[in-house]
Amino acid sequence: MKADHQKVIRNLNIAKGQIEGIITMIKEDRYCLDIYDQINATRAILANVNNKIMEEHLKSCVKEAILNGDDSKIDEAITAIKKGR
C-alpha cells in the first residue's frame, strides 16, 4: 500500500474510537438519532480511507502494471469498486 500510512492509521483510529463510543451510547440507551449520526460519521471516515486506498492503488499498482503490459490490475480494480457499492 502506497497511501500515507500515518494518515490512514490516524483516521482508522478515529473510526475505532467512534465505534467504541457508539457501543457506549447503545449501552447507555442514548437517543437513537444521536447514535445514527455517530454511525454516519464513522461510515464517512471509513469511506474516505477506502477511497484514498483505491486512489493510491490506481496511481501506483495499476499504473505500474499497465506500464509493464499487465492489464489485469484494471479488472481487479473494477471488481473491487463494484463490490464497494
pLDDT (0 to 100) of residue 33:
98
Q: What's the structural domain count of the chain? A: 1
Distance CA 77, CA 31 (A): 40
2: phi then psi, degrees, rounded to nearest 5? -100, -5
pLDDT (0 to 100) of residue 3:
64
pLDDT (0 to 100) of residue 4:
85
Q: What CATH code is carried by the domain that includes residue 29?
A: 1.20.58.1000
For the chain, which residues score pLDDT lower than 50? none
Quote the domain boundaries for residue 67.
Answer: 5-83
